[in-house]
Chain A
Amino acid sequence: MNQLPLFQPSSLSVSEITRYLRSLMDNDDLLQSVWVQGEISNFSRPSSGHLYFTLKDNSAALRCVMWKSTALRIRFAIQNGLAVEAHGSISIYERDGQYQLYVDALRPAGEGLLYQEFMRLKNRLEAEGLFDPDRKRPLPELPRCIGIVTSPTGAALQDMLNTLRSRYPLAAVLLSPCSVQGEQAPAEIVSALRRLSTTEAEVILVARGGGSLEDLWAFNDERVVRAIVASPIPVVTGIGHETDFTLADFASDFRAPTPTAAAVHATPDRADLADELAGWQDRLHGAASLLFSQKWQELENTQMRLDRASPGQRVRSERQQLDEWQERSARAVSSLLRLRRANLAGLANRLQALNPEGILKRGFTMVQREDGSLLSSVRQASVGETVDVRFWDGKISTRVESVQPGKLPDLEQ
């Protein structure tokens, strides 16, 4: 039988009991860091920016509050009916006498399990050395052919093609399409990679747009990881958003934060190439100009030396010599001629003096025998001999009657 004690224990005030409860909770380890799974209801977001909602299941409900700073980081739509997991600490809001979960992290339900599996897989594959930095291969600087593994209907493909068109249209793109989420996705991604392995692609972009952990799950599949590792062609991954890391990202030769970033990383910008080309063109012109002006200078020098020793020059000097000789010899000849003429004239006179015609014209005659020989003495004549008496203008033929020597008497005076 219950009897009220004679002296009742003293009463605690509301504040005291509340404070007591609060202290209990604040000192409990589990309550300071706990994940709670439930369905969102009574969701409200007043102008303060803080979020208020209730997590419930079939038989209980837990009031929750999330401060604005945490709320801003939530990337999915929080709404009534959504199954979530909330992390935080449980304490009492004394004024209301209300215990509530102060939420510092929120994720869609089921992601917790997925994340655990993710970590398990990651550790196992990492231990095999599949994510070693040494395994990462360098990418070609000027790829002629780029392979792309992605959904043919997704925005990721269009983003990448637009990037490539403006940045590096010199390349050819080989699209190897596949699903990028769902049950079939891992097998299709593996096939798509294998199909590219025998082409002339020099780099492969594996990409998909943003989504939840579940949406991206295909890229955490072990088969996909092994296919990327086995690819003979370097792989660049661009999956989800900047903060998403999948096992495919760890296995690839380079992880880009997004599909567009993957396309950028795999190619040079043609504007940069154009600048580089212009630089080399300048060097080409510079080198050629320098060389040509050097050659021209050499040529001019050679020309000068050549001119001094050239045949033209020699001919000129020889011609000059020739002229001099000609002059001298001309003078010599003419003096010789004069001499000769003088001699000749003398001779001519002497000859003239000796010319018989003059003598004959004076009345003297030449007496010649028949053979032409001259008789220069009377004793050369014989009586009865026929002789020619030659006058200046003819001859007579006569017979010697007598021969009488005797000189001519000297002519007086």
Chain B
Amino acid sequence: MQPSPDEIQSLTYEQAFSRLQEIVTGLETTENTLEEALVLFEQGQALAQYCARLLDKAELRVRTLGQQDEPAEEG
């Protein structure tokens, strides 16, 4: 499951960070061809930068639930 650059934008921090960890341990332990290693490295970089941006730039979103959000009564 290799997310494209656009798909990275839709990942949560947890998903992106977890994928980064997978890539790093993969590079450290698995046999990779040069081609594969290059691709993985670039992906890892993109994910790490995405996570860093999230941590730095994220703004707390606050929404208030109103009466209309009342769930249906359970029988």
Which A positions have Cβ atoms within 8 angstroms of B?
A: 141-142, 144, 152, 161, 164-165, 169-177, 191-192, 194-199, 270, 273-274, 277, 280-281, 283-284, 287-288, 291-292, 295
Task: Specify which of A164, A170, A172, A173 is in contact with B55 (CB 8 Å cutoff).
Answer: A170
Residue B6 lies at the interface, judged by CB distance under 8 Å to chain A:
no
Q: Which residues of chain B are within 8 angstroms of A270 by Cβ–Cβ distance?
A: 55
Task: Specify which of A172, A191, A288 is in contact with B70 (CB 8 Å cutoff).
Answer: A191
Contact B27 A291 (CB under 8 A): yes
Task: Specify which of B20, B58, B61, B64 is in contact with A280 (CB 8 Å cutoff).
Answer: B20
Known: A170-B55, A171-B60, A287-B24. 6 other contacts (CB 8 A): A164-B60, A174-B63, A195-B65, A198-B71, A280-B17, A284-B27
Known: A281-B48, A284-B27. A144 touches B60 (CB 8 A): no
Residue B8 lies at the interface, judged by CB distance under 8 Å to chain A:
no
Q: Which residues of chain A are within 8 angstroms of B65 by Cβ–Cβ distance?
A: 174-177, 192, 195-196, 199
Q: Which residues of chain B are within 8 angstroms of A170 by Cβ–Cβ distance?
A: 13, 54-55, 58
A and B contact pairs by CB, cutoff 8 A, 9 listed? A169-B59, A170-B55, A172-B63, A194-B70, A277-B52, A280-B48, A284-B41, A288-B27, A291-B32
Contact A142 B41 (CB under 8 A): no
Residues of B contacting A: mostly: helix
Per-residue A-contact encoding for B31-49, CB less than 8 Å = 1, 0 else: 0101001000100110010
Assembly CA distance A191 to B68 (angstroms): 12
- Distance in Å: Cβ of A262 to nearest Cβ of chain B: 16
Q: Which residues of chain A are within 8 angstroms of B64 by Cβ–Cβ distance?
A: 152, 174-177
Residue B21 lies at the interface, judged by CB distance under 8 Å to chain A:
yes
- Distance in Å: Cβ of B22 to nearest Cβ of chain A: 11
- Distance in Å: Cβ of B2 to nearest Cβ of chain A: 16
Assembly CA distance A287 to B48 (angstroms): 15
Residue B1 lies at the interface, judged by CB distance under 8 Å to chain A:
no
Q: Which residues of chain A are within 8 angstroms of B17 by Cβ–Cβ distance?
A: 277, 280
Contact A274 B55 (CB under 8 A): yes
Contact A161 B45 (CB under 8 A): no
Assembly CA distance A196 to B34 (angstroms): 50
Assembly CA distance A408 to B52 (angstroms): 132
Contact B28 A283 (CB under 8 A): yes
Assembly CA distance A144 to B17 (angstroms): 14
Q: Which residues of chain B are within 8 angstroms of A191 by Cβ–Cβ distance?
A: 70
Q: Which residues of chain A are within 8 angstroms of B48 by Cβ–Cβ distance?
A: 277, 280-281, 284
Assembly CA distance A197 to B34 (angstroms): 50
B51 to chain A: closest residue by CB: A277
A140 to chain B: closest residue by CB: B14
Q: Which residues of chain B are within 8 angstroms of A284 by Cβ–Cβ distance?
A: 20, 23-24, 27, 41, 44-45, 48
Q: Which residues of chain B are within 8 angstroms of A161 by Cβ–Cβ distance?
A: 60, 62
Q: Which residues of chain A are within 8 angstroms of B28 by Cβ–Cβ distance?
A: 283, 287
Q: Which residues of chain B are within 8 angstroms of A141 by Cβ–Cβ distance?
A: 14
Contact A175 B62 (CB under 8 A): yes
Q: Which residues of chain B are within 8 angstroms of A175 by Cβ–Cβ distance?
A: 62-65
Q: Which residues of chain B are within 8 angstroms of A144 by Cβ–Cβ distance?
A: 12, 14
- Distance in Å: Cβ of B27 to nearest Cβ of chain A: 4
- Distance in Å: Cβ of B57 to nearest Cβ of chain A: 9
Task: Specify which of B21, B37, B61 is in contact with A291 (CB 8 Å cutoff).
Answer: B37
